[in-house]
């Protein structure tokens, strides 16, 4: 189904085959998806900007390139970007009022590399403000709806990207993941979400949230598509000081690696009372399927993993308070009217420009970094981070991947968790560990609970994207959960 049939149901691989065989042109493909975005996008609120004219120009160029044999790996294939990636000439809002009207003078490396490989950008997706949220409700541009049930949240912060892919408006979208912002929405919408190793993909041109945690990745419907995109996006970039100079393997070629013999770690702490019982059953069934295919399941402990959420909520706000100090109302972004003096200009521009969750995080960060509290909070959290990271390192001496739930429940209602920040934060309980330790992780659809998608998360050692992609791909060969889409968007 993903490789043939209606254009919008096809994976990138299926579209690439269709273009190569002349079933349709890049222009026809682009027009078909733009028309779906126009019909369904507003009801989901998945997009902040649609770049129809530019997309059609790019598509025409892609058709010419294909005709003259100059095509790259993604020539003519559609993509949308989370509105956190800077795009030259197209506004970048990061879901915030403070960046209303901001047009980046340059492209993010991710945007540039995908464009150079021939991908056609159709638009930019809605997101939690500055990627701070797990429900897409903190966006200045409003909440995004989950295509499986429009009263529900698609998760976040890459909620628009996940909703667009789940609703078959596009086959692929970029996202960013600081604490689960790719994997959690992927799980809640029945899509594949890949967060690579810290430093694997350049952060240049990504609006910074928490610099020791942020990483760019993708949301797709298949692990194969994620592998196709990662091969283009990954690699050293001298413009990002944390980019790692590590060879980029052929991720697509690596997909054929069988799960037979793979040692899969099951974290005891991941199946405690915090996990919904039906979700737990789906995850256990998927683990049994891997075992059936020849993987061996090994129970492991991550003794400090329960501390990952409080650790994150010291480290991430601390880094956010520092990164977001650049929004000062002077050089770009929102400025208040008639400032009395410079201090008034800073305080009112920021007070008016930022939403409530972003303000909370800036203030939390300022508090934990302030004189007298720095050792007790920030330094302490960095030490606990070391312990959590060490737990993973020990685990990977025994197993090749760690598998478990991506999120504790299926999609929750919009508005359900907005009153209590802690309840919202705990939605990322299974994903944050990988960010703290800098590990790659992927969420794959593994069934349904009461009609809503459940995600299986696979986490690997540093730079083991090949292993988790291959395991996810092999799992998708055994199952067809990823072929099931929300009926309303069939």
Distance between CA 327 and CA 344 in Å, rounded? Answer: 14
| Selected binder of another protein within 53, 273, 341, 487 (CB under 8 A) | 341
Report, in Å, the least distance between residue 319 CB and another protein: 11
Q: Edge-to-edge strand order for the sheet containing 296-300?
A: 47-50, 120-125, 78-82, 172-176, 216-220, 192-195, 441-449, 452-459, 401-405, 263-267, 296-300
Site string for another protein, 243-282 (x = CB under 8 A): -x--------------------------------------
Would residue 161 show up in a list of annotated catalytic residues for this protein? no
Binding segment for another protein (CB under 8 A), chosen from 19-27, 259-267, 382-390, 475-483, is 382-390
Tell me which long-range contacts 69-72 makes (C-beta under 8 A, separation of at least 24). 71/118, 72/116, 72/117, 72/118
Q: Does residue 340 interact with another protein by CB under 8 A? A: yes
Q: Does residue 303 interact with another protein by CB under 8 A? A: no
Would residue 181 show up in a list of annotated catalytic residues for this protein? yes
170-209 residues near another protein, rule: CB under 8 A: 197-199
Report, in Å, the least distance between residue 370 CB and another protein: 6
9-28 residues near another protein, rule: CB under 8 A: none
Site string for another protein, 402-431 (x = CB under 8 A): ------------------xxx--x------
What torsion do the CA atoms of 394, 398, 401, 403 make, to the nearest 10 degrees?
-90
User: What are the C-alpha distances in Å from 364 to residues 242, 282, 317, 426?
Assistant: 25, 37, 6, 17
Size of the site for another protein (CB under 8 A): 76
- Residue placing its CB nearer to another protein in the complex, 6 or 363: 363
Helix (H, G, I), strand (E, B) or coil at 74: coil
Distance between CA 201 and CA 465 in Å, rounded? Answer: 12
Report, in Å, the least distance between residue 322 CB and another protein: 11
| Residue carrying structure tokens 């690579």 | 196
DSSP conformation letters of 399-420: -SEEEEESSSSS--BTTTTSS-
Structure tokens at 397: 């001496």
Report, in Å, the least distance between residue 71 CB and another protein: 31
Site string for another protein, 117-156 (x = CB under 8 A): ----------------------------------------
Q: Does residue 213 interact with another protein by CB under 8 A? A: yes
The β-bridge relationship of strands 441-449 and 192-195 is antiparallel
Q: Catalogue the active-site residues.
A: 82, 157, 181
């Amino acid at each position: 189904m993903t490789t043939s049939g209606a254009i919008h149901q096809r994976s990138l691989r299926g579209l690439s085959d269709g273009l190569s065989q002349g079933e349709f042109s890049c222009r026809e493909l682009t027009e078909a998806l733009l028309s779906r975005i126009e019909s369904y996008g507003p009801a989901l609120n998945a997009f902040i900007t649609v770049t129809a004219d530019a997309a059609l120009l790019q598509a025409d160029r892609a058709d010419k390139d294909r005709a003259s044999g100059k095509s790259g790996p993604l020539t003519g294939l559609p993509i949308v970007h989370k509105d956190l990636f800077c795009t030259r000439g197209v506004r970048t809002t990061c879901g915030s009022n403070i960046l209303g009207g901001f047009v980046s003078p340059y492209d993010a490396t991710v945007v540039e590399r995908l464009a150079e490989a021939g991908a056609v950008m159709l638009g930019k997706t809605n997101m939690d403000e500055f990627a701070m949220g797990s429900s897409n409700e903190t966006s200045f541009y409003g909440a995004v709806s989950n295509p499986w049930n429009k009263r529900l949240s698609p998760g976040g912060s890459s909620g628009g990207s996940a909703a667009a892919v789940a609703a078959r408006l596009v086959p692929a979208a970029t996202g960013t993941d600081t604490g689960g912002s790719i994997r959690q929405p992927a799980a809640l919408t029945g899509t594949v979400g890949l967060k690579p190793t810290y430093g694997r993909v350049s952060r240049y041109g990504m609006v910074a949230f928490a610099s020791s945690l942020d990483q760019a990745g993708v949301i797709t419907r298949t692990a194969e598509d994620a592998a196709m995109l990662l091969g283009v996006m990954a690699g050293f970039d001298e413009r990002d000081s944390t980019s790692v100079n590590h060879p980029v393997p052929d991720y697509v070629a690596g997909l054929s690696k069988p799960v037979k013999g793979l040692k899969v770690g099951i974290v005891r702490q991941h199946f405690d009372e915090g996990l919904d019982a039906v979700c737990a059953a789906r995850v256990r069934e998927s683990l049994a399927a891997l075992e059936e295919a020849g993987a061996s399941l090994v129970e492991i402990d991550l003794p400090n993993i329960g501390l990952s959420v409080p650790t994150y909520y010291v480290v991430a706000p601390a880094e956010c308070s520092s990164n977001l100090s650049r929004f000062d109302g002077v050089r770009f972004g929102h400025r208040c009217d008639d400032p009395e003096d410079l201090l008034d200009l800073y305080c009112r521009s920021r007070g008016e420009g930022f939403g409530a969750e972003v303000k909370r995080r800036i203030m939390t960060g300022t508090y934990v970094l302030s004189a007298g509290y720095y050792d007790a909070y920030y330094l302490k959290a960095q030490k606990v981070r070391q312990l959590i990271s060490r737990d993973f390192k020990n685990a990977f001496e025994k197993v090749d991947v760690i598998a478990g739930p991506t999120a504790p429940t299926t999609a929750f209602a919009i508005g359900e968790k907005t009153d209590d920040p802690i309840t919202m934060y705990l939605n990322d309980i299974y994903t944050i560990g990988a960010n703290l330790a800098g590990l790659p992780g992927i969420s794959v659809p593994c069934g349904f609970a009461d009609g809503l998608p459940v995600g299986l998360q696979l986490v690997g050692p540093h730079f083991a994207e090949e292993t988790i992609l291959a395991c996810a791909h092999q799992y998708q060969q055994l199952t067809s959960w990823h072929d099931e889409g929300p009926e309303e968007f069939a």
